[in-house]
Amino acid sequence: MAQVKSGDKINVHYTGRLTDGTLFDSSAGREPLEFEVGSGMVIKGFDEGVTGMSIGEKKTIHIPAAEAYGDVDPNYLAVFNKAEIPADIPYEVGMQLNMHQDGSGQVMPVTVVEVTDTTITLDANHPLAGKDLIFDLELVSIG
């Protein structure tokens, strides 16, 4: 029976959760995730987790933060004076905002992590940075 190897295009159903059981993503009720193994389309630990699976196989993988979205980088935290934030932009802790990067035209998603009387702190780390992840996988197809 064929087993997944680097370079294969596969379809996999998955459910992703944190170590405390919090569900963060799932393909349930949707088409399976399709990607090329080893191409960098998914996080390293996911690529490694599907390698060697056979069609119809189910398994659970544990991915440490370093092989997922990395550790929280304090350099991705930015404190702004509230006076610098346009008055028409609402914000509260936990809210996701899009921040335009200087000159590049790219938009970076950020999360409001702290609001004081005079400042607002934004975090540009991936929301899953610093977290170990657990995925339940089912290989649907290879090729």
Q: What domains are there in the chain, each with its CATH number?
A: 9-70+128-142 (3.10.50.40), 74-123 (2.40.10.330)
Tell me what the mean pLDDT of segment 69-88 comes to: 90
Query: What is the distance between the alpha carbons of residues 41 and 48, in angstroms, rounded to a whole number?
Result: 12
Q: What local confidence, expressed as pLDDT, does residue 126 receive? A: 92
pLDDT at 28 over 70: yes
Tell me the pLDDT tens digit for each residue of 35-78. 999 999 999 999 999 999 999 999 999 999 999 999 999 999 99
Q: What local confidence, expressed as pLDDT, does residue 102 receive? A: 67
Q: Within a 10 A sphere around the Cβ of 133, how many other Cβ atoms?
A: 23
Q: What local confidence, expressed as pLDDT, does residue 4 receive? A: 96
pLDDT at 120 over 80: yes
Query: What is the distance between the alpha carbons of residues 83 and 52, in angstroms, rounded to a whole number?
Result: 54
Q: What local confidence, expressed as pLDDT, does residue 108 receive? A: 84
pLDDT at 118 over 90: yes
Cα 55 to chain centroid, rounded: 25
Phi, psi of 50 (to 5 degrees): -85, -20
